[in-house]
Amino acid sequence: MKVFITGGSGFVGREIIRQLLAANHSVRALVRRTDALNNFNGIETVTGDTTHPATLRDQLSGCDAVIHLVGIVREFPGKGITFKKLHVESTENMVQATEEQGVKRYLQMSANGSRKNAVTNYHKTKWVAEEKVRQSNLDWTIFRPSLIYGSEDQFINMLAQLIRNLPLVPVMGDGQYQLQPVSVEDIATGFVSALDKPETFAKNYQCCGLERFSYDQLLNLIAQALGQVAGARKIHQPLWLMKPVVATLQNISIFPITSDQLQMLLEGNICQDNSWINDLSLELHDFSSSIKAYLNPSL
């Protein structure tokens, strides 16, 4: 198949492109910079921006499927970077371009926790974007990944850096909120496998790994992967103290967390339905051995 992909230069996008090429698909990637995917041989790149529909005109011609990955985890309204623009408007433009240019197959990256009554703007806009897809005439599939990990991830690598460098790792609240991390390789395999499977049409897939961990357990597993057998040394911060601090400092770009991100962390990130594993015949990676392979390959 010839696959048109947006967000291909991102963490998940690069892995999907690798797997598309390995499966002998051809790839046309939408990029804003012509050098964004220079490290890939044999792919076609076209310049455009999903938030500017005019740049999408005729870009999908000859393609058999679209994979739309564009999204952000944090807003910077002063720079015009908002959830509404990058989630909702971007998806609306891609759906319209896909329909108008005669491509039927469409795969969308959303997020676990996306729902109509979501608390955070991140999850609300992911839901609105999903609704744009569901209301289309396309053969669509929506993926809602949990926390995605891999050698190029930000979250697990950031926590590993804290564990290496700090005598005590700060933890918001009691650290018992649950996470169910999933490998970037498994997410990419899911996307590629679903391309030609009609049984996945009109499906919304929660995408989690096999194991659930509390945040405290996650920190311990990361520490053990780094060779700290006893686990991470932690200091729990009361939420009544930290919530106003985060709210005050979140507009400073170097501050590592926003109120939305704190809320999503406290909500947890687990799957009630992991049917994507059976539907796509997946064999998921083990979290502990996977992170050890890239955090401390010498062990």
Tell me the DSSP string of 189-225. Answer: HHHHHHTT-GGGTTEEEEE--S--EEHHHHHHHHHHH
- pLDDT of 35: 83
So what's the pLDDT on residue 164? 96
Domain boundaries of the chain, sorted by first residue: 2-145+184-207+271-284
pLDDT at res. 204: 98
39 Cβ contact partners less than 8 Å away, ≥ 6 residues apart: none
**Contact residues for 65 (Cβ-Cβ < 8 A; gap 6+):** 1, 2, 3, 4, 103, 105, 106, 107, 195
Low-confidence stretches of the chain (pLDDT < 50) are: none
Domain covering 2-145+184-207+271-284, topology: Rossmann fold (3.40.50)
Q: Which is nearest to 108 in space by CA: 207, 38, 36?
A: 207
Pairing of strands 213-214, 105-109: unpaired
Q: What is the spatial distance between Cα 40 and Cα 111, in angstroms, rounded to a whole number?
A: 27
Nearest Cα to 205, choosing from 274, 128, 140?
274
pLDDT, one tens digit per residue, over 226-255 is: 999 999 999 999 999 999 999 999 988 888
* Digit-coded pLDDT (tens) for 122-159: 999 999 999 999 999 999 999 999 999 999 999 999 99
Query: Which letter does DSSP use for residue 281 in this model?
Result: T
Alpha-carbon distances, residue 41 vs 17, 19, 22, 278, 281 (angstroms): 11, 13, 12, 32, 29
Mode of pairing for the β-strands spanning 178-179 and 213-214: antiparallel
Structure tokens at 255: 């501050």
pLDDT of residue 33: 86
pLDDT at 299: 59
CB atoms within 10 A of CB 80: 10
End-to-end CA distance of the chain: 40
d(CA 238, CA 151): 32
Alpha helices in the chain (DSSP H): 11-22, 83, 90-100, 121-134, 155-165, 184-194, 215-225, 239-249, 259-267, 276-279, 287-295
* pLDDT reported for residue 101: 98
Q: Using CB atoms within 10 Å of the CB of residue 200, give its burial: 0 to 12 exposed, 13 to 18 middle, 19+ buried.
A: buried
Is pTM beyond 0.85? Reply is yes
The answer for residues whose C-beta is within 8 angstroms of residue 230's C-beta and 6 or more apart is 223
Query: What tokens were used for 191?
Result: 């996307």
